[in-house]
Amino acid sequence: DDVDRAYFAVFDGHGGVDAANYSATHLHVNVGLHEEIVENPAEALKCSFQKTDEMFLFKAKREKLRSGTTGVSALIVGNKLHIAWLGDSQVMLVQQGRAVTLMEPHKPERE
Protein backbone atom coordinates (compact mmCIF):
# COMPACT_ATOMS: atom_id res chain seq x y z
CA ASP A 1 0.00 0.00 0.00
CA ASP A 2 1.04 3.65 -0.02
CA VAL A 3 1.31 4.08 3.77
CA ASP A 4 4.78 4.87 5.11
CA ARG A 5 5.85 2.58 7.96
CA ALA A 6 8.99 2.40 10.10
CA TYR A 7 9.90 -0.17 12.74
CA PHE A 8 12.50 0.11 15.50
CA ALA A 9 13.28 -2.25 18.38
CA VAL A 10 15.81 -2.76 21.15
CA PHE A 11 16.27 -6.00 23.09
CA ASP A 12 18.20 -6.48 26.33
CA GLY A 13 19.23 -10.08 26.84
CA HIS A 14 19.31 -11.66 30.29
CA GLY A 15 21.36 -14.76 30.99
CA GLY A 16 22.83 -14.67 27.50
CA VAL A 17 22.05 -13.24 24.08
CA ASP A 18 20.01 -16.07 22.55
CA ALA A 19 16.54 -14.69 23.33
CA ALA A 20 17.51 -11.12 22.37
CA ASN A 21 19.05 -12.23 19.06
CA TYR A 22 16.06 -14.46 18.30
CA SER A 23 13.64 -11.61 19.00
CA ALA A 24 15.65 -9.17 16.89
CA THR A 25 15.57 -11.66 14.02
CA HIS A 26 11.90 -12.70 14.23
CA LEU A 27 9.70 -10.04 15.83
CA HIS A 28 9.64 -7.65 12.87
CA VAL A 29 8.87 -10.54 10.51
CA ASN A 30 5.93 -11.60 12.67
CA VAL A 31 4.68 -8.00 12.80
CA GLY A 32 4.98 -7.57 9.03
CA LEU A 33 3.16 -10.84 8.31
CA HIS A 34 0.40 -10.32 10.87
CA GLU A 35 -3.08 -10.10 9.31
CA GLU A 36 -3.93 -6.96 11.33
CA ILE A 37 -0.84 -4.93 10.38
CA VAL A 38 -2.85 -2.62 8.10
CA GLU A 39 -6.09 -2.26 10.07
CA ASN A 40 -4.84 -2.59 13.66
CA PRO A 41 -1.05 -2.13 14.04
CA ALA A 42 -1.27 -2.15 17.86
CA GLU A 43 -2.89 -5.59 17.81
CA ALA A 44 -0.30 -6.80 15.32
CA LEU A 45 2.48 -5.70 17.68
CA LYS A 46 0.87 -7.33 20.71
CA CYS A 47 0.18 -10.63 18.97
CA SER A 48 3.63 -10.65 17.38
CA PHE A 49 5.34 -10.22 20.75
CA GLN A 50 3.34 -13.19 22.03
CA LYS A 51 4.02 -15.30 18.94
CA THR A 52 7.75 -14.56 19.01
CA ASP A 53 7.85 -15.52 22.70
CA GLU A 54 6.09 -18.81 21.99
CA MET A 55 8.44 -19.54 19.10
CA PHE A 56 11.51 -18.87 21.24
CA LEU A 57 10.19 -20.96 24.13
CA PHE A 58 9.81 -23.90 21.75
CA LYS A 59 13.39 -23.41 20.48
CA ALA A 60 14.74 -22.90 24.01
CA LYS A 61 13.17 -26.12 25.24
CA ARG A 62 14.45 -28.08 22.24
CA GLU A 63 17.98 -26.66 22.47
CA LYS A 64 18.11 -26.28 26.28
CA LEU A 65 18.63 -22.51 26.11
CA ARG A 66 18.25 -20.54 29.33
CA SER A 67 18.29 -16.88 28.34
CA GLY A 68 15.55 -14.27 28.27
CA THR A 69 15.11 -10.74 27.04
CA THR A 70 13.25 -7.55 27.60
CA GLY A 71 12.30 -5.50 24.60
CA VAL A 72 10.72 -2.36 23.33
CA SER A 73 9.54 -1.59 19.82
CA ALA A 74 8.16 1.39 17.98
CA LEU A 75 6.07 1.13 14.86
CA ILE A 76 5.36 4.36 13.01
CA VAL A 77 2.43 4.13 10.62
CA GLY A 78 1.85 7.35 8.72
CA ASN A 79 1.70 9.95 11.48
CA LYS A 80 0.87 7.52 14.34
CA LEU A 81 3.31 6.00 16.79
CA HIS A 82 2.64 2.54 18.27
CA ILE A 83 4.78 1.33 21.18
CA ALA A 84 5.02 -2.22 22.54
CA TRP A 85 7.29 -3.51 25.26
CA LEU A 86 8.07 -6.55 27.31
CA GLY A 87 9.64 -6.62 30.75
CA ASP A 88 11.25 -3.57 32.26
CA SER A 89 12.54 -1.99 29.06
CA GLN A 90 11.33 1.56 28.66
CA VAL A 91 10.95 4.10 25.90
CA MET A 92 10.94 7.86 26.14
CA LEU A 93 9.62 10.40 23.69
CA VAL A 94 10.94 13.92 23.79
CA GLN A 95 8.71 16.44 22.06
CA GLN A 96 9.82 20.06 21.79
CA GLY A 97 12.32 19.52 24.61
CA ARG A 98 9.83 17.93 27.00
CA ALA A 99 9.57 14.29 28.04
CA VAL A 100 6.24 12.66 27.16
CA THR A 101 5.26 9.61 29.22
CA LEU A 102 4.33 6.80 26.84
CA MET A 103 4.23 3.86 29.22
CA GLU A 104 4.35 2.68 32.79
CA PRO A 105 7.27 0.27 33.16
CA HIS A 106 6.73 -3.28 34.39
CA LYS A 107 7.79 -3.57 38.01
CA PRO A 108 7.30 -6.47 40.45
CA GLU A 109 4.99 -4.39 42.65
CA ARG A 110 2.61 -3.59 39.75
CA GLU A 111 -0.33 -5.86 39.04
pTM of the predicted structure, to 2 decimals: 0.87
List the CATH number of the domain containing 56: 3.60.40.10
* 110 within domain boundaries: no
Number of domains in the chain: 1
Range of the domain at 33: 5-101
Residue 31: the pLDDT is 97
Residue 106: the pLDDT is 72
* 109 within domain boundaries: no
* 106 within domain boundaries: no
* 46 within domain boundaries: yes
* 107 within domain boundaries: no
Distance separating alpha carbons of residues 97 and 19, to the nearest angstrom: 34
* 111 within domain boundaries: no
Q: Encode the chain (111 residues) as per-residue pLDDT tens digits.
A: 788 999 999 999 999 999 999 999 999 999 999 999 999 999 999 999 999 999 999 999 999 999 999 999 999 999 999 999 988 888 889 999 999 988 877 777 877
* 97 within domain boundaries: yes
* 94 within domain boundaries: yes
String of DSSP letters for 51-95: HHHHHHHHHHHHHT---EEEEEEEEEETTEEEEEEETT----EEE
Residue 16: the pLDDT is 94
